[in-house]
Structure 1
Amino acid sequence: MRQLAYGFRDWIRLEPLGRSGADDGVDIRGVERVQAGRRDAVSSADPDRDDVSEDRVWFIQCKREKTFGPAKARAVASAALTGGAEPPFGFVLAAPCDLSKRTRDALTSDLRAAGVRQVFAWGRGDLEDMLFLPENDHLLFAYFGISLQVRRRSQVAELRSRLARKREVYRAVGDRSHRGFKPVLVRDPTVEGYPFRERVPDFDDENPPWMWTAFRHHSNPDTLALVIKRHHAWISADRTKFDVIDSCSHVMPHRNGFNKAARGDPELCDRVWRFFHNEVPEDERGWLEVFGWIMLDDILLVDDLGDAFHEPPHILATRDHTFGFFTHTREFLRLDRHGKSTAGALAPDEEHLDVDKLKRTRLFPDPIPDVQWKSRW
């Protein structure tokens, strides 16, 4: 409390009397310096003016109590005024508990009646407010191990690091104007065996240590949204029903010639492609896309070089969430109205539909018939 009181007034001295054990109800006695020029400039006919007093004596009494009521406040006031000495100019009661209005009023009325000019009661809230002032940050750290300035500097450093990571991601996968469909490999660098599945015991296809995703556009701040799965969808003309072929996920890039990640039956997926583009009406062709969000803080490194097995970019990230790499996932239905967008490219007139508002029903034939590509000329 004595260190906290240093900035309260301009002290000539601040004495820790409470350490002696015989403090006469005063733990700290301070003598406040009063500017001599101000004393001389004011007429002595106004002795009640604060700025004409001589050097002022203050008593500070500290009570380590869990509760402190009016009766205790009056006892403190009485103890500080015993001995017949002249009452101090000011008095401060400090206690690390809540002080009610009745307690504060009782202390103030008793001390003012005895001639004390200024009375302060510092309860828990008052002390907390004082400790959180920038000039008292060193005390907050010394006694409680908390530094708001250090925390603030840490927050700035964290934000700068996140912004640098965000720029790195933008450069690797696409900036805000990106409207394509860019394959991105997400990998857990702590798992040995990459890129060979057979070298990873119990390779989990639901939560794999590496997987192909696709970047489409930036959405939520501080996250990277990636398409985890992408299936052909048939959406009825009245937009009330839909069907999905979820046996094939069209996320992995076709140009990749050394696939070491799981994918669907190649023959079935090729048959689905041909049927989808030849038999499904153009205005009813759509995609069911499952998005997953990776926090930027979970991205350890952005590899824009790739390797001999998988082309860049690679996102190296932690994998300790409920959905593996992703904090949460969500399904979206996307309908290309004219049906002529390039494989997954975001068409200017595409339409997004809420999966929960449509009913899933059988629209695709089972099995998918083997049709040939129709002439495009």
Structure 2
Amino acid sequence: MLYQPKNDDVLFTFFGVSKRIRQRSLSAEVRRKLVVKRKAQRLLQSFGLEVLVRDASDDRYPYADETQREKLRARRWCIYRYEGCHHDGLHVLRHRHLAFLDDDGVAWDFAECMDDSAPHKNPWRTEDDEKLMDQVAAARANAMTIWDALPEKNRAWFEEYLVLPYESVIDIDDKGDEWFEGPHIYVGEFDPVRGPFRDYRRVRLCTIGQWSARHAEANPEARVKKFPRVEALGP
């Protein structure tokens, strides 16, 4: 009975609770999420579009701190491929691997030694990054040989997506700048470990057939060995 509009002043006086204030706060939160979602849908129309996710409070931009070895400490901005709006936020590609999916839709594997998620152009790429990319390119060629030898029905992609909550987005600048001409997504302060993203990732395992694609759960216990493992590469 107390939770009626006529008793709102009583609730606030004795319990510090106001239904009207709570509703206004919730309404403002929902409106803000919808504004961000609609702006993203309007400005980021191409899936696979490269975007720069950056901490609005990091005034070091565009110059990374070269004294820091960890990237999240050196710079709180990074380029990703935008993959669309979903119920929980904006999804950006984190990893993309060649994969195998068996006929039973259960057994699977992925080429963990290669990764096609790297942006095409990255002005903040270091010498170490370049060396790593050379290693990944060699591993990709080997993985592609294995992948091409698979029946087409068993060729797949294994992808991981980071989830950027709508409430973490401050604004989107679709014009970019002289360092990165693509859209800039300004976000709140980065978490030291996961940045501005949620503490989970979306995983997708799917065969390549456009009209007959099969989706499957990437169960670690059902993983078989079709591609080399990272530890098997050697120096």
TM-score (normalizing by structure 1): 0.50
Aligned residue number for residue 55 of structure 2: 188
The yes-or-no answer on 1:147 pairing with 2:10 is no
Q: Which structure 1 segments of 5+ residues have no match?
A: 1-128, 338-346, 369-377
Q: Distance in 2 between matches of 1:165 and 1:356?
A: 34
8 Å CA contact 2:157, 2:207 repeated in 1:
yes
Cα RMSD between the aligned structures?
Answer: 3.4
Tell me the residue number matched to 1:335. 207
Aligned to 2:222: 359
Q: Which residue of 2 aligns with 1:293?
A: 163
Deviation at 1:270, TM superposition (A): 3.3
Q: Distance in 2 between matches of 1:287 and 1:273?
A: 13
Q: 1:311 Cα shift?
A: 3.2
Q: Distance in 2 between matches of 1:136 and 1:236?
A: 63
Q: Cα–Cα, structure 1 residues 349 and 311, in superposed 2: closer, same or farther, change >3 Å? A: farther
Q: CA deviation at 1:286?
A: 2.0
User: Greater relative contact order (Cα 8 A, min sep 6): structure 1 or 2?
Assistant: 2
- CA shift at 1:289, angstroms? 0.9
Paired amino acid for 1:163: L
**2:208 matched to 1:350?**
no
Cα distance 1:154–1:365, how it changes in 2: closer, same or farther (>3 A)? closer
AA of the residue aligned to 2:80: T
Deviation at 1:222, TM superposition (A): 4.1
Q: CA deviation at 1:361?
A: 3.3
* Per-residue CA distance 1:133-189 (angstroms, 9 max, x = gap): 212323333444332222222222222122111111212323xxx6x4233322223
The change in CA–CA distance for 1:336 and 1:353 in structure 2 (over 3 A counts) is: same
TM-score between both structures, scaled by the size of structure 2: 0.75
Query: In structure 1, what is the equivalent of residue 153 of structure 2?
Result: 283
* Partner amino acid, structure 2, of 1:214: R
Q: Which has the larger radius of gyration?
A: 1
- Distance, in Å, in 1 between the alignment partners of 2:22 and 2:130 is 46
> Does the 8 Å contact 1:183/1:252 carry over to 2?
no
Q: Is the 8 A contact 2:93 2:161 kept in 1?
A: yes
Instruction: Label 1:360 to 1:133 Cα distance change in 2 as closer, same or farther (>3 A).
Output: closer
Aligned counterparts of 1:150 and 1:243: Cα–Cα separation in 2: 52
Report % sequence identity: 25
Could you tell me whether the CA contact under 8 Å between 2:92 and 2:163 is conserved in 1? yes
Rounded to whole Å, the distance in 1 between the matches of 2:211 and 2:194 is 31
Aligned to 2:194: 323
| Residue ranges of structure 2 left out of the alignment (5+ in a row) | none
Q: Is 1:268 aligned to residue 130 of structure 2?
A: no
